C-alpha cells in the first residue's frame, strides 16, 4: 500500500461523523444499582441501631456487662444473679457487713475434689436436710472451743453439759462428773 492510499483512508474516516459511545451504566441497570446501594445503607443503619440498643439494654461499659464487673482481682458480680449451669469459683465473698444469700429450688451442693476429680468432701443442703460426707466433721464455738467432732473412729462431744431428750424424758449428763467415774 502506498502513502497516498493511506491518506485517502484517513480522509474518509475524518469526513464521516464521529460516533460517540456512552460509557457507564444507564437505564434500568442504574436504577437497580441505586436501589441495592440504598437497601444496603438501610440494612447498615438498622444493624448499627440494633447493636447500640443491645449494648444499652445489656448495660455494657468499659468495666464489664450489667452487674458483672472486671476488676484487677477477677470478676465482681453485684446484685441478684441467676446461674443456669454450675458455678465454679475460687472464692465467693459478699460485701463487707452484708450476708451472702444463696437460693435454690432443689439443693446447694459444695463438692471438694482432688486433681483426679475424685470426690473428697461433700456438703449438701436440701429440702430433706443437711448431709455432710468426708473423713471428719467438726463443730466449734465462736471462741474456737471444740463442741462436736466425728470421724470413723470416734464421736467426741466437747460441751460441759450434754442434754439428751428422749420420749418426754430428759437426761442431763455433766461431763465433769462423768469424767470422775471413768
Give the pLDDT confidence of 125-165 residue by residue, as tens digits. 988 898 889 999 899 989 989 999 999 999 888 877 777 76
Q: Rounded to whole angstroms, how far apart are CA atoms 106 and 126?
A: 6
> Chain-centre distance of CA 115, in angstroms?
24
For position 173, what pLDDT does the model report? 52
How wide is the angle at C-alpha 43 spanned by C-alphas 27 and 47, nearest 5°?
A: 165
Q: What is the pTM of this model?
A: 0.47
For position 99, what pLDDT does the model report? 85
> Residues of the chain with pLDDT > 70: what percent?
82
The 10s digit of each residue's pLDDT in 31-78 is: 999 999 999 999 999 999 999 999 888 888 887 787 888 888 888 887
For position 89, what pLDDT does the model report? 80
pLDDT of 7 over the 60 cut: no
Quickly state the pLDDT bin for 122 (edges 50, 70, 90). very high
For position 3, what pLDDT does the model report? 53
How wide is the angle at C-alpha 19 spanned by C-alphas 17 and 22, nearest 5°?
A: 155
Count of residues making up the chain:
182
Amino acid at each position: 500500500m502506498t502513502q497516498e492510499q493511506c491518506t485517502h483512508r484517513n480522509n474518509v474516516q475524518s469526513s464521516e461523523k464521529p460516533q460517540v459511545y456512552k460509557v457507564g451504566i444507564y437505564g434500568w441497570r442504574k436504577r437497580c444499582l441505586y436501589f441495592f446501594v440504598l437497601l444496603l445503607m438501610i440494612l447498615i443503619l438498622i444493624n448499627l441501631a440494633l447493636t447500640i440498643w443491645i449494648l444499652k439494654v445489656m448495660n455494657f461499659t468499659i468495666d464489664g456487662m450489667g452487674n458483672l464487673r472486671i476488676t484487677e482481682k477477677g470478676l465482681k458480680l453485684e446484685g441478684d444473679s441467676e446461674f443456669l449451669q454450675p458455678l465454679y469459683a475460687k472464692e465467693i465473698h459478699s460485701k463487707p457487713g452484708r450476708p451472702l444469700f444463696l437460693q435454690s429450688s432443689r439443693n446447694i451442693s459444695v463438692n471438694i475434689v482432688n486433681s483426679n476429680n475424685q470426690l473428697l468432701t461433700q456438703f449438701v443442703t436440701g429440702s430433706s436436710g443437711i448431709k455432710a460426707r468426708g473423713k471428719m466433721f467438726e463443730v466449734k464455738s465462736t471462741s474456737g472451743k471444740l463442741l462436736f467432732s466425728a470421724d470413723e473412729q470416734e464421736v467426741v462431744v466437747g460441751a460441759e453439759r450434754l442434754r439428751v431428750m428422749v420420749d418426754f424424758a430428759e437426761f442431763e449428763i455433766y461431763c465433769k462428773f462423768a469424767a470422775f467415774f471413768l
